[in-house]
Structure formats: structure tokens, C-alpha cells
Structure 1
């Protein structure tokens, strides 16, 4: 499947995300990370929490449960997960987004 992202994004370092079918290009800063993510297959995310996250949906569908409330986001939507909020969900194959993590070390480079 061709990437939704073009150069120079696909030239960024690839983030280490140990889930099958996930490709994420990492833009690293001193205070945060920006990931350009694509999902080639469905992914179930168990409940977890971390620093604040903001996502901008480029294509596909993500179902999130944040603080016990269910949401569905599709192309053109944006979502916000406050710092420390328990969340889980399902990312559907073909999903792509740009995610901002308000922490500099959420993901390492492969």
C-alpha cells in the first residue's frame, strides 16, 4: 500500500511502535514529539494513559474510549486526549493521522 505521506516526511526516522502493520515517522523536539502514522491493519489498543495527545485524522476511522466515553473519528476530525486520561480503542486498517504527544520521549527511533 503506498504511503499517504510524501517526502520529506517519509525521510524522517521511523518510530519504534511494536505493533504489526503500523508505520510512524517521527519528528522529534526538545519538549514533544510529532508522529505521522499509518495503519495497514486493524489494531486494538488496551487501556493506557500518558501525556496529552492531539490527533488530526487524515483518512480512515479510529474508535476511542476516553475517560469512559466512546467517540468515533474520521477524515477531517481532530481529537484530544488530556494528560493522564485512561483511554483505549480500535484503529481500523487504512487509518492515518498526525499525532502530537506532549512529551519528548514517548517513542524511540527504530
Structure 2
């Protein structure tokens, strides 16, 4: 392994100040998220060490950026793979599902200020 390459071990890739944000109370197996929330929406920084599957659901508008790894997003029966550096947008009330590859980091912004809850400490 060269000095520029790193092993994709557990994804503690976010800086300590992000890791100190509240954890998201989420029921999608394999998902861990850090929540930044305000009156105008939410930002979640997700980590999927072992990958995961988000079943079909709907909510307010959302946009996402894949930071590492890949997401296979299904919207309106069409599947598209988004890799590191790609972004996606999901319209208000649009049904969608996702399969996330192992070692993936995703940043998502939600228009709803109450889309996700903090996990009880």
C-alpha cells in the first residue's frame, strides 16, 4: 500500500466536531448519522460501514452528495448509481429507496426541520 492509499476500515472519517453532533435515531440497519438541525431544515452526515438498504419511503424535498463509496438510488422505478462526488435531488413526496455500498459516506440536506430525531443519550 502506498502512502496515498488508506484502508477503508471503520468510517470515522468525519472530524471530531462532526462526530460530537447528536446521533440520528434511525432504524435503517447499518446506518449511522450525525445530525445538524435548525428551523429551516436538517443536514445529516451518514456513514455505512457495512452498506445498507433504505426501504421505499417518502418525505419532503431532499438533496444529497456522496462523499465516499456509492449509493444505488431508486426513484420512480428507475435506479441510478451515484458515486463519490455525485449529487442527487429528490422532490417533495417522491417515493424512493436506496442500496448503499459498504464504506460509504453521504451528506444529505432535508427541507423538513423535523425529518430526523436525535437518538436519546
Q: Taking structure 1 as the reference length, what is the TM-score of the superposition?
A: 0.93
CA offset at residue 103 of structure 1?
A: 0.2
- Correspondence for 2:22: 13
Q: 1:2 to 1:86 in 2, by over 3 A?
A: closer
Asked if the contact 2:25/2:118 (under 8 Å) is kept, the reply is yes
- Correspondence for 2:52: 43
**1:30 equivalent in alignment to 2:25:** no
1:5-55: CA deviation from partner (whole Å, max 9, x where unpaired): 002111111110123322100001112010011011221222111101100
Asked if the contact 2:11/2:103 (under 8 Å) is kept, the reply is no
- Correspondence for 1:95: 104
**1:109 equivalent in alignment to 2:118:** yes
Structure 2 CA distance, aligned partners of 1:15 and 1:85?
Answer: 22
Q: Give SS of 2:28's match.
A: coil
Query: Deviating runs (4+, > 4 A) in structure 1?
Result: none
Structure 2 CA distance, aligned partners of 1:4 and 1:81?
Answer: 26
Asked if the contact 1:56/1:76 (under 8 Å) is kept, the reply is yes
Q: Rg larger in 1 or in 2?
A: 2
- Correspondence for 1:78: 87
Q: Taking structure 2 as the reference length, what is the TM-score of the superposition?
A: 0.85
